[in-house]
Amino acid sequence: MEVYIVTGGAGFIGSHFIRHLMKKNKESLIINIDKLTYAGNLKNLEDIQAERNYVFIHEDISNAEAIKQIFAKFSPAYVVNFAAESHVDRSIADAVPFITTNIAGTQVLLQASLSCNIRKYVQISTDEVYGPLEPGAEPFKEDSSLKPSSPYAASKGAADLLVHSYNKTFGLPMNIIRSSNNYGTHQYSEKLIPLLIRNYRLGKPLPLYGDGTNTREWLHVKDYCRAIDMVLHEGRNGEVYNVGTGDERQNLEIAELLLALLMELSKEKRVLTKARAELIEFVEDRKGHDKRYASNWDKIKKELGWMPRLHFDEGLRETVEWYLERGLLKV
């Protein structure tokens, strides 16, 4: 039985990836290691808790001795590291947890992986490591230089370099995946889309940094899980893969699309132009806020045949419907 260790599997993307793996690999054993910080939620996986090929372990990836014992016990073939502190604002307020988890924790996993003769280690990274992209500039490629702006992005960039070094120095088979902004169900409410949905349901303003023109690509989490699976099993050893969509949207556009959907699906009678003035609130911009991110993802398309399947408008509607059905307003 092949063993997969997935760290951070109680979080947003990690829980979706575990579901993806379990549907495809019913005879494999999935080990979910998660510290269960504020953003981790075992309810994301409550319907598979009793499955015979799923094991949850409550542990911190920076605990070297515990991780060493887990790897020795299960001898994983594959390791996928989602575990991370990921909220930029929190990294600005206090960078220490980001250094501990994102850098030191990654090193612990790499060291443990060396002892198990694993087939592949995959580091889940972010397009934020490239830093800001000027308007009209060509999207970043995998070999673009790293110029992170926030402590969060810097910690992820440092982790990427550690992973690369373990490949070059010790021969650890690995890939690094850098994706654009993910969205979908089960996302913690500090992130843009669930935050705006929650505030709307609570009758609170929908906050947007600056003038709302910050631009991001948006990728549905299910499409991202397919990409991770392909890279894990088919990606060339030592390579970095960008994952994006080419569909760039300003935050203000996201807010207006959400308002229209929420009014439609909630049977609200307010007029969109009036609601925008009433509900969208422009707040002081975050320190070092990057204006634009965009990635060139030709590599994963050409080498592995990956393409996004879900158009943003369709995926956003599905996401809003899910949140409204469940009334998820947790802060």
Question: Tens digit of pLDDT for each residue in 223-262?
Answer: 999 999 999 999 999 999 999 999 999 999 999 999 999 9
Please give the Cα distance from 239 to 308 (Å, whole number). 20
CB of 124 closer than 8 Å to CB of 240:
no
Q: Spot the catalytic one: 54, 78, 121, 152.
A: 152
DSSP structure class, residue 38: T
pLDDT of residue 259: 92
d(CA 1, CA 325): 38
Q: Two tokens at 212?
A: 């709302």
Whether the per-residue pLDDT at 69 is higher than 50: the answer is yes
Give the pLDDT of residue 268.
Answer: 59
Supply the mean pLDDT for the chain: 94
Nearest Cα residue to 316 out of 199, 151, 187: 187
Q: What percent of the chain has pLDDT over 70?
A: 95
Whether the predicted pLDDT of 29 surpasses 60? yes
Query: What stretch of H or E contains 233?
Result: helix 221-234
Of the listed ranges 252-256, 314-318, 323-327, the one predicted with least confidence:
323-327
Helix, strand, or coil (residue 208): strand
**Is 128 tagged catalytic?**
yes
Whether residue 325 contacts residue 265, with contact meaning beta carbons closer than 8 Å, is answered with no
- Number of helices followed by number of strands (H, E) in the chain: 12, 12
pLDDT digits (tens, 9 = 90+) for 81-137: 999 999 898 999 999 999 999 999 999 999 999 999 999 999 999 999 999 999 999
When pLDDT is averaged across residues 319-330 and rounded to a whole number, the result is 79
pLDDT band per the 50, 70, 90 thresholds, residue 26: confident
Q: What is the pLDDT of residue 273?
A: 53
Residue 249 phi, psi dihedral angles, 5° rounding:
-135, 140
Phi then psi for residue 57, to 5 deg, are -125, 120
Q: How confident is the model at residue 326 (pLDDT cuts 50, 70, 90)?
A: confident
pLDDT at position 274: 52
Span 256-277, pLDDT tens digits: 999 999 988 886 555 555 555 5
Strand-pairing partners, residue 280, are 206
Instruction: Give the CATH fold of the 3-184+218-246+289-310 domain.
Output: Rossmann fold (3.40.50)
65 is an active site residue? no
Task: Read off the amino acid at residue 217.
Answer: E
pLDDT at 330 over 90: no
pLDDT (tens digit per residue) in 184-205: 999 999 899 999 999 998 889 9
Cβ atoms within 10 Å of 58's Cβ, excluding its own: 12
Instruction: Assign 292 a pLDDT band (cuts: 50, 70, 90).
Output: very high
> What per-residue confidence (pLDDT) applies to 136?
92
Confidence of residue 279 (pLDDT cuts 50, 70, 90): confident
Q: Mean per-residue pLDDT for 151-180?
A: 98
The residue annotated as part of the active site, out of 34, 60, 85, 128, is: 128
In this predicted structure, the answer to whether residue 328 has a pLDDT above a threshold of 90 is: no
| Active-site residue, 247 included | no
Which strand (E) or helix (H) includes residue 154? helix 151-170
In sequence order, the β-bridge partners of residue 278 are none
* Boundaries of every domain in the chain: 3-184+218-246+289-310
CA dihedral 279, 282, 284, 287 (to 10 degrees): 110
Given 127, 160, 223, 229, the catalytic residue = 127
Closest CA to 162 of 105, 77, 207, 92: 105
